[in-house]
Amino acid sequence: MQFCVGADANETIEVTLRTALVRLGFSLPAFTLDALLPHLITPLLFLGPLYALYLDFSSPLSTTGSFKEVLLSWQGARNYVVAPITEEIVFRACVLAVYNLSGASRAKMIMLAPLSFGVAHAHHAWDTFNRYGRTPAAAKRALLMTLFQLSYTTLFGSFASYLFLRTGSIWPPITAHIFCNVMGIPQLGYEVSKFPQQKRSYVTGILGFVMKIVPWTKTPDSLYWQPRGPAVAY
């Protein structure tokens, strides 16, 4: 028995690879203003914390050294480069592509798929339990911290899922993930107490985010946001 791989087989492999890359959102981004806007929606939401950094002239990384020193460390590369990229590829591109192929609705993909992303961070409970002495108090602290982390990672996962489905690209979720890792959890109480005049920046950022998240993420050719199901020309 002989097997021949001809032009038709090569063409099939090429089309299959191109289709997979499109479904995973790996198409190269266009260098236009419309393509840039989805990357700016997260900084808009963080307008208050960004303004606090400007007023305080400090950084979320100030406790561990300069941004350059931290970024060039193994821990910095993991937290701000490797983790955001790999987690978005797995939990957004791969998971949502499978959900879409199964016929799941966009609402389910945005609300339910991120639960796997949140649960994936639950192992930190064991680290916390060990760090604080493996006592009942340590167990309580680990539980509370894990529930909090599960909540905000799932919430971010829903936002990142929306970005991926809305734009059909993995790049906006990756840049949003990197940005959020750098900024950390906003210290609203501390920042407002220290700079009362910046309350308007928080309100402006939140209102701007609500008003602009739909128009700034509008991508007519998104595979996952078609009005009558996914249809892509190859």
The catalytic site residues sit at 87, 121
**What is the spatial distance between Cα 15 and Cα 201, in angstroms, rounded to a whole number?**
48
DSSP per position, the chain = ------HHHHHHHHHHHHHHHHHTT-SPPP-SHHHHHHHHHHHHHTHHHHHHHHHHT--TTGGG--HHHHHTSHHHHIIIIIHHHHHHIIIIIIHHHHHHHTT--HHHHHHTTHHHHHHTTTTHHHHHHHHTTSSHHHHHHHHHHHHHHHHHHHHHHHHHHHHHHHHS-SHHHHHHHHHHHHH-S--HHHHHHH-GGGHHHHHHHHHHHHHHHHHHT--TT-TT--TTS-----
